[in-house]
Amino acid sequence: METEALQKVEQLALKKVKVYKHSRMRYLARSMLASMFIGFGVIVAFKTGSFFYSEHSPLTYPMAALTFGAAIILISYGGGDLFTGDTFYYTYAALRKKIRAGTAANLWVWSYAGNVLGAAVFAFLIYTTGLFDDSSVNGFLLSVVEKKMHTPTMELFFRGILCNWLVCLAFFIPMSMKSDGAKMFAMMLFVFCFFISGYEHSIANMCTFAIALVLNHPGTISFAGVMHNLIPVTLGNLIGGGLLMGYMYYYVNKPFMED
C-alpha cells in the first residue's frame, strides 16, 4: 500500500504551510527558486536539442526530454515550491482536514505567483548571457514555443491534466524508495515520459515562454499567445494534481489512513 508515502505527502504539506505562515516572503522566494530550477532544465533541454534540431535528427525530442530531467532533481533535492506539485500536496492535506481549503487555495496563488516571478528573473539572467542570441541555438526553442501558443485550447487543457498527473507521480512514487539513486532514476524517467509525450506543464511553459519573449522572436510569439496557453494548461494541471492525485489517493486509501 502507498499509505507510508501519503503520510510523507501530508507531512511535506504541513512543513510548507509552516513556512508560509512564518513568512509569506520566504514562501514566495522558495517558489521563485522552484521555477528557476525548472529554467535550468529548460535551458539544458533546448540547448541539447538544438544540436539535433539543426541536423533535422529524430533524436531532437528524446535528447531534450532526457536532459530536462535535471529540473526535477534540482527541485526535489534543492528545495522550492512548485505550483504543480502543490496542487497534489495541499489538496490531499485539505481532504485529510490537516489544513483549511482556503489555506490551500492561498498557497496555490502564492506558489504560482512566485513561479511567475522566478521565470521572469531567470529569463532576464539568460538574456544577459547571450547564450541563446544566435538563431542556430534558439531555433528549436522558438519553434516549440510557437506550436504551444497555437495549439487548440481544449487540447492544451487535457494535455495539462495528463501532464500534472504524471509529474505528481514523479514526486510521489520515489517517496516509497530508499535509495537516492533509485529515486533520481524514477523521477527522470517520469519526466522523460511527460516531455516526450507532448503534455503541457504550466511552470515549464512559463519559463520557456519568458525566455522566448526576451529573445529576438517572430511576431507569432506574443504575450497573447502566453495567455492562450497558460490559462487552460494551468487549469488542467490543477485538475491533474488536485483531482486525479489528491482526491483519488485520498478516496482509495481513506479506510487505511489513521486520523
CA distance 140 to 49: 7
Please spell the DSSP secondary structure of 37-83, one letter per residue.
Answer: HHHHHHHHHHHHHHHHHTTT-TTHHHHHHHHHTHHHHHHHHH----H
CA distance 147 to 220: 10
Query: pTM for this one?
Result: 0.94
Q: What is the pLDDT of residue 202?
A: 97
CA neighbours closer than 13 Å in the CB half-sphere of residue 124 = 6
The cell for 97 is 482536514
Which residue type sits at 89? Y
Q: Dump pLDDT digits (tens) for 219-242.
A: 899 999 999 999 999 999 999 999
Q: What is the pLDDT of residue 133?
A: 86
CA distance 133 to 215: 7
Q: What is the pLDDT of residue 256?
A: 78
Q: What is the pLDDT of residue 245?
A: 97
Please spell the DSSP secondary structure of 192-205, one letter per residue.
Answer: HHHHHHT---HHHH
Q: Tell me which of 3.20.20.70, 3.40.50.10360, 1.10.274.10, 1.20.1080.10 is the CATH number of domain 3-256.
A: 1.20.1080.10
Q: What is the pLDDT of residue 259?
A: 61
8 Å CB contact between 247 and 90: no
Q: Dump pLDDT digits (tens) for 53-84.
A: 989 999 999 999 999 999 999 999 998 899 99
Q: Estimate the crossing angle of helix 70-78 against helix 180-197, to 10 degrees.
A: 130
Which residues of the chain fall short of a pLDDT of 70?
Answer: 1, 258-259
Across the chain, how many H-helices and E-strands are there?
12, 0
CA distance 216 to 106: 36
Q: Estimate the crossing angle of helix 3-22 against helix 83-95, to 10 degrees.
A: 110
Long-range contacts of the stretch 177-182 (C-beta < 8 A, 24+)? none
